[in-house]
Amino acid sequence: MKITETHIPGLLVIEPHVHADSRGYFFESWHEERYRKAGIESVFIQDNESKSVRGVVRGLHYQLAPWAQAKLVRVIEGSVFDVAVDLRKGSPTFGQWFGLELNGESKKQLFIPRGFAHGFSVLSETAVFSYKCDNYYNRESERSINLNDPGLGIDWKLGNSAPLVSEKDRNAPLFDEAEMNFKFNS
């Protein structure tokens, strides 16, 4: 397993070792001891999966503390452009985002600590997206940031195609208007 730190503290790209041959492939998508040794100490308690079509953008979603969630995200099938935005006040990268392509072929994962908004756009005909969470979903603490916020300037890699977005995400506030209660712990 190879772990790469991004320019945003705590946000990690994970490349698991994939054993592939003529029969297919095998890899460990989660191994608590190995991930803990790599600095990921989250205890995951909920797994989620979604399937979406090309052009869908889901996000930017997060939950306020104490219901904030760390996530370990990956794509089972297809390809997405995955984005995490730092919402931790006092962080040297507050308000900055990181994005990368995740797909079913490379098996790359992204570890997103608590205090981030998260979203992805679907680049393939369909994509099956899976993620582990270290806290349960809580409707009352759920928040969103508008995916088209010009202050963030996220390129969702959809070219000239209009994104397919839920009404909730379309009406989400801009970053500067969003409620957030996260603090950076160096």
| Residues annotated as part of the active site | 61, 131
Whole-number Å distance between alpha carbons of 115 and 156: 21
Whole-number Å distance between alpha carbons of 165 and 142: 17
Q: For residue 163, what are its two tokens?
A: 């994104």
- The whole-angstrom distance between residue 68's C-alpha and the CA centroid of its chain comes to 13
Give the Cβ contact number of residue 57 at 10 Å: 25
Are residues 14 and 107 in contact, defined by beta-carbon separation less than 8 angstroms? no
Are residues 99 and 171 in contact, defined by beta-carbon separation less than 8 angstroms? no
Determine if residue 123 is left, alpha or beta; phi over 0 gives left, psi from -120 to 50 gives alpha, anything else beta: alpha
Whole-number Å distance between alpha carbons of 176 and 126: 32
